[in-house]
Amino acid sequence: MTMAAKFKIGTLVVIGVGLIGGSFALALKKAKAVKRVIGVGRTRRNLAAALELGIIDEIALDAGAAVERADLVFLGVPVGQMGQTMARIAPHLTQRAVITDAGSTKQDVIEQARRFLNDHFKRFVPGHPIAGTENSGAAAAFPDLYAGKKVILTPQRETARSAVKLVRDAWLACGAEVVRLGAREQDVIFGAVSHLPHVAAYALLGTLARRKDAPKLLGYSGAGLRDTVRIAGSSPEMWRDICIANRDTLLALLDDYLDELELARAAIASNDGDALAAMFERARAARRRWLLRARA
Amino acid sequence: MTMAAKFKIGTLVVIGVGLIGGSFALALKKAKAVKRVIGVGRTRRNLAAALELGIIDEIALDAGAAVERADLVFLGVPVGQMGQTMARIAPHLTQRAVITDAGSTKQDVIEQARRFLNDHFKRFVPGHPIAGTENSGAAAAFPDLYAGKKVILTPQRETARSAVKLVRDAWLACGAEVVRLGAREQDVIFGAVSHLPHVAAYALLGTLARRKDAPKLLGYSGAGLRDTVRIAGSSPEMWRDICIANRDTLLALLDDYLDELELARAAIASNDGDALAAMFERARAARRRWLLRARA
């Protein structure tokens, strides 16, 4: 891979060595695009596992001391912890350190970065890799998580081009496709295709879980329910933060969903098979077009 | 397979040779448990495909004439067409013919069978195989669809034991596990784990499909949305019928789902991260317990 020969990060500091941050480190290591990875996190056991698994080369107990050596800092923490993490590291960042994140929401993270990274904001490249599984933690990380996946970058007016280049090259080395979007646009897009579906899936499984007969019910379920609620296995902490960070956009989308469900409810209640079939058919047709385009 | 040697159906008539009826025929053929399969359907092209694919041995244009030769009649039509299909075949059924169906709702189908099958009701064995994919039509059928899957039978007081035995043996020959349930119980269970999830998935994709920017949005979606709405690829006609056939049960479940979504909405609107995380955590914990039991 020519990328690996041309491009190398000296020291990468990953703050939050979970599925996302851990896979970023593993992908860069696989591409021989990083010399040394330092892991910072809240849970000693998770960091020990990350070290054992070769995801990181060193455990740092103090985020401040760790970032003093960083060429690239990767913020892999839930979006609700971005502000405090940035405030913690800002006094210790050097002038060469580039900072990036993997938060699902970008307007909120950018606002926090403006507030807490101070002079370093110009070397902060907001990012969002469109990859993941329903599993969490360092043990869930794997080097090919990002292969062929999109990574959204939403640099701001002030963002240094050299910083964008570094982060872009890092993601390319991970095998990802890099796409630039406006922060607001990205929040609407992922509100619709990711945040709303997570709320829908958590609530669907939550509806069943509330029932006394839940274990019996679930015992009869097939692949349909299993796939529909797979993402309800995701980290509640991470998704709580995302929902609140993207609140206004998500509430508008959630209202659209509630309206659509009410329409379906009304059609069922009035035995209006034509209206119901038309709703189902519109959804099915959208899915068919989408899958055809995805294959093209 | 000892089953194949001991048990054989003479002539099976499949009315509605789609994924479900076609796979039933293929599974019985693979087990050498049927001599001859006659296919009846609305679409000539689908029946020709079924013949070509070896799913059926003969196309019958008239359901009445076909069932005169039947040892077993399999009703693979949408539940909204059960009544008219039963009315059509009832005058032509012999005293030996056993009838079964594959409808997702059982109270409604049983009510129609009582009304339209007349004297033959005692040889009608209501059934519901818990298997399927998001694809429809004979071309989607495959012989192992039912291997290791549950099939629910809901025989009534009047149902002949010999009829239940025949249908049970047929499903066992398909590799399925046969479970008996009360019709009402089955409708609640599958309302919860199948019908509600289908409405949720159709409505979720419908919400996105209504937007002008739907193609762009969907272009950014990942595996999460794809799995969550996979079942929105299912037949709108079939699901329209199921929703209306199981109306009262489904409406109550849909109201529970709307309540749960409103709770999530309220937590997001008021930045109540604790309440939101608790809802997500309850769903995740239910999923974890369910998957553990499923593996056990």
Distance from CA of A93 to the nearest CA of B (A): 31
A214 has a chain B CB within 8 A of its CB: yes
Q: Could you read off the pLDDT of A65-98 as tens digits, one per residue?
A: 999 999 999 999 999 999 999 999 999 999 999 9
In this prediction, residue A6 carries a pLDDT of: 67
What does the alpha-carbon distance between residue B137 and residue B43 come to, in Å, rounded to a whole number?
10
- Of A242, A148, A141, A133, whose CA–CA distance to A186 is shortest? A242
What does the alpha-carbon distance between residue A55 and residue B102 come to, in Å, rounded to a whole number?
50
Q: What's the pLDDT band for A1 if we cut at 50, 70, 90?
A: very low
Q: How many percent of chain B have pLDDT more than 70?
A: 98
Return the residue of B nearest to A274 by Cα: B240
Asked if residues A130 and A157 have their Cβ atoms less than 8 Å apart, the reply is no
Determine the average pLDDT of the residues in B8-32: 97
Contacts of A285 in chain B (CB under 8 A): 209
Q: Could you read off the pLDDT of B107-130 as tens digits, one per residue?
A: 999 999 999 999 999 999 999 999
Instruction: Identify which has the larger pLDDT, B166 or A3.
Output: B166
In this prediction, residue A135 carries a pLDDT of: 83
Asked if residues B7 and B166 have their Cβ atoms less than 8 Å apart, the reply is no
Q: Could you read off the pLDDT of B62-83 as tens digits, one per residue?
A: 999 999 999 999 999 999 999 9
Distance from CA of B68 to the nearest CA of A (A): 33
Quote the ipTM score: 0.87
Q: What's the pLDDT band for A117 if we cut at 50, 70, 90?
A: very high
Strands (E), B126-276: 127-129, 150-153, 177-180
In this prediction, residue A158 carries a pLDDT of: 97
Q: What's the pLDDT band for B11 if we cut at 50, 70, 90?
A: very high
Are the Cβ atoms of B287 and A189 closer than 8 angstroms?
no
Determine the average pLDDT of the residues in A154-162: 98
The yes-or-no verdict on residue B1 having pLDDT over 80 is no
The yes-or-no verdict on residue B218 having pLDDT over 80 is yes
What does the alpha-carbon distance between residue B99 and residue B155 come to, in Å, rounded to a whole number?
12
The yes-or-no verdict on residue B295 having pLDDT over 90 is no
Q: Could you read off the pLDDT of A213-242 as tens digits, one per residue?
A: 999 999 998 889 999 999 999 999 999 999
Q: Could you read off the pLDDT of B224-236 as tens digits, one per residue?
A: 999 999 999 999 9
Q: What's the pLDDT band for A178 if we cut at 50, 70, 90?
A: very high
What are the tokens at A51? 């070290």
B234 has a chain A CB within 8 A of its CB: yes
A289 has a chain B CB within 8 A of its CB: yes
Determine the average pLDDT of the residues in B27-56: 96
The yes-or-no verdict on residue A3 having pLDDT over 70 is no
Chain A window 173-212: which residues touch B at a Cβ cutoff of 8 Å? 189-190, 192-194, 196-211
In this prediction, residue B92 carries a pLDDT of: 98
What does the alpha-carbon distance between residue A174 and residue A54 come to, in Å, rounded to a whole number?
16
The yes-or-no verdict on residue B21 having pLDDT over 60 is yes
The yes-or-no verdict on residue A255 having pLDDT over 70 is yes
Spell out the domains of chain B, with CATH numbers in brackets: 2-181 (3.40.50.720), 185-295 (1.10.3660.10)
Distance from CA of B172 to the nearest CA of A (A): 18
- Average pLDDT value over all residues in chain A: 95
In this prediction, residue A208 carries a pLDDT of: 97
In this prediction, residue B132 carries a pLDDT of: 81
In this prediction, residue A2 carries a pLDDT of: 47
Q: How many percent of chain A have pLDDT more than 90?
A: 90
The yes-or-no verdict on residue B4 having pLDDT over 50 is no
Residue A228, SS3?
helix
Q: How many percent of chain B have pLDDT more than 90?
A: 91
What does the alpha-carbon distance between residue B144 and residue B146 come to, in Å, rounded to a whole number?
5
Which of B197, B218, B237 has its CB closest to that of A224?
Answer: B197
Q: What's the pLDDT band for B6 if we cut at 50, 70, 90?
A: low
Phi, psi of A179 (to 5 degrees): -125, 135
- Average pLDDT value over all residues in chain B: 95
Are the Cβ atoms of A254 and B261 closer than 8 angstroms?
yes
> What burial letters (b/e) apply to A128-150, b meaning 16+ CB within 10 Å?
bbbbbbbebbbbbbbbebbeebb
Distance from CA of B161 to the nearest CA of A (A): 25
The yes-or-no verdict on residue A39 having pLDDT over 80 is yes
Which of A152, A197, A279 has its CB closest to that of B202?
Answer: A279
The yes-or-no verdict on residue A181 having pLDDT over 60 is yes
Are the Cβ atoms of A193 and B232 closer than 8 angstroms?
no
Determine the average pLDDT of the residues in A117-136: 92
Tell me the C-alpha to C-alpha distance, in Å, between residue A219 and each of A215, B103, B153, B239: 6, 19, 16, 22
Residue A96, SS3?
coil
Determine the average pLDDT of the residues in B254-268: 98
In this prediction, residue B61 carries a pLDDT of: 86
Which of A228, A230, A241 has its CB closest to that of B201?
Answer: A228
In this prediction, residue B294 carries a pLDDT of: 84
